[in-house]
Structures are given as C-alpha cells and as structure tokens.
Amino acid sequence: MVEKITVMIVDKQEVFRVGMRQILSQQADFNILDFDPEDAHTETIETNTPDVLLLDTGFPTDSGLKMGREILRRHPGIRVIMLSPNPDNEEIFEAIKIGAVAYLPKNTPAAELTNTISKASRGEYPINESLLARPEVAQRVLRQFQDTVAMGKTMEAITAPLTSRETQILSFIANGNSNKQIALKLEISEQTIKNHVSSILRKLNANDRAHAVVLAIRQGLIPLEEQL
C-alpha cells in the first residue's frame, strides 16, 4: 500500500481552499487538509503533521511569509510551498530566505501544482528552477550569501572542494548555458563537460544542475563578477 502524502492548504479564501481540495483530491496518493490561517495554529500543525504545506503569501499583508517562517523554524521537516496571487521578485526572494521549497502563482495549472507537490514530498527543491529563471533574484541571493560567508558564518559543507575548472563550469551553468554551449566556449568535448557536471553534483550533494547552482550561491563558490 502506497503511503499517502498529507497536503495542508492554508488560505484566507474559503472558495480557493475548496477548489484546491477538489483538484488535489483527485490524486489517489494525496491526503488533503485545509484551514483558514486563523485556525492554523502551532497545535494544528503539530496534530496533523503535513508533509507538504500550501501557504498563501499574504492575507492580505505579508502574514503568509511570516507564518511560513515560523512554521519552518518550529518544523523544518515540513515542505512549504508558497502560493502567490501576484508573483514578484521581492516575494520569491523572501520565500527563498525563509526556506520554502517552491514558489508558484495561485493560478498555476493543476498538473504543474500536483507535480510540484510530489517533487517537494520527495525532498526536491522546485524553487531552484524559479531562482535560475529570475536572474535579478539570483543576484540578490548571491550577494546575501556571499556577505554571510564574508562575515565568517558557517555554511553547508561540501564533501570535497571544487576544482577551478568545475567552478568555471558551474558559473557557466548559473548563467543559463547548456552542456553543449559550455563545451563550445571552452573548446572541449560535451562528454567532458558531462563528466565535470557529474563530479560537481557529487561534491555538492546536489540533486540536479539547478540545485548545484543554489548550493554554490549559498556557499559563495561563484564569484559575483561572473554573474553580472
């Protein structure tokens, strides 16, 4: 028997919660719960222990982000997906800061939403793709984490240091280049690039290329000037 994924919807609009419940209930492996933010207290979270939490970014202020921050502080194992009625770079930056695993518009198609929930429940970080698609946000995240490193604060450790070539390739990836494009720029074979990428993922304990870039940003491994 397949273990179900408990998905909790927290949104001020009852009609939205009802609609989400109807859509997500079609997934046989989802167990759906929904609450008004005023009823989603710490006790509610602890009692229901959701695997994935769908949380409105604001109702009507930035209370959603504040609630997400508090929930993740108390329950870091919960996978929080922020849903925004009006997505913008400032919100996604804040979502990344609080530790959300994904950031989506509230009108995201059902198939994409269910796919994102499934990815989140497996430990993936769909928000990484959002970060790479918004270079302005990537710049802010990069600067913030490099400042953190400069202040001497401890960051996530990597299993082994990257070589200068691997760092160079990672910078190309961060700027949106494919393996083929990187191979042409460095005048080496595409297979060699693939080998380097595999090594990078292994050293950073990254799930994919996007995750590797985010981890590198957090650890200040990519020089700022290469991102401008």
Q: What CATH number is associated with residue 107? A: 3.40.50.2300
Looking at the structure, tell me whether residues 9 and 87 fall in a common domain: yes
Give the three-class secondary structure for 182: helix
222: pLDDT strictly greater than 80: no
pLDDT band at 45 (very low <50, low <70, confident <90, very high): confident
The total of other beta-carbon atoms located within 10 Å of residue 227's CB is 15
Q: Are residues 152 and 108 in the same domain?
A: no
Q: What is the reported pLDDT for 109?
A: 93
Helix axes 209-218, 135-150, angle to 10 degrees: 40
Question: Alpha-carbon distance 126 to 117, whole Å?
Answer: 9
Domain stop point among 93, 114, 133: 133
The answer on 129 and 20 residing in a single domain is yes
Does 121 lie in the same domain as 61?
Answer: yes
For residues 52 and 154, state if they share a domain: no
- Given 112, 133, 154, the domain boundary residue is 133
Is the previous residue joined to 126 through a cis bond, with omega within 30 degrees of 0?
no
**In angstroms, how far is the first alpha carbon of the chain from the final one?**
50
Residues 6+ apart with CB under 8 A from 13: 56
Token duo for residue 68: 């997400």
In angstroms, rounded to a whole number, what is the distance separating the alpha carbons of residues 45 and 53? 9
CA angle (81 as vertex; 78, 85 as ends), nearest 5: 150
- Report yes or no on whether pTM surpasses 0.75: no
Q: 124 and 146 in one domain?
A: no
47, 119: one domain: yes
Rounded distance, CA 211 to CA 18, Å? 33
Among 41-50, 83-92, 129-138, 189-198, the range scoring the smallest mean pLDDT is 129-138
Q: E-strand spans in the chain?
A: 5-10, 30-35, 52-56, 79-84, 102-105
Domain stop point among 108, 133, 158: 133
Shared domain for 115 and 26, answered yes or no, is yes
| Claim to verify: residue 209 and residue 98 sit in the same structural domain | no
Regarding whether 27 and 104 lie in a shared domain, the answer is: yes
Q: Is 92 found in the same domain as 81?
A: yes
Strand order of the β-sheet with 79-84 is: 30-35, 5-10, 52-56, 79-84, 102-105
Q: Give residue 220's domain range.
A: 135-227
Q: Which amino acid is at 225?
A: E
Instruction: For residues 177 and 123, state if they share a domain.
Output: no
Structure tokens given for 41: 């207290």
Least confident interval from 114-118, 203-207, 212-216, 222-226: 222-226
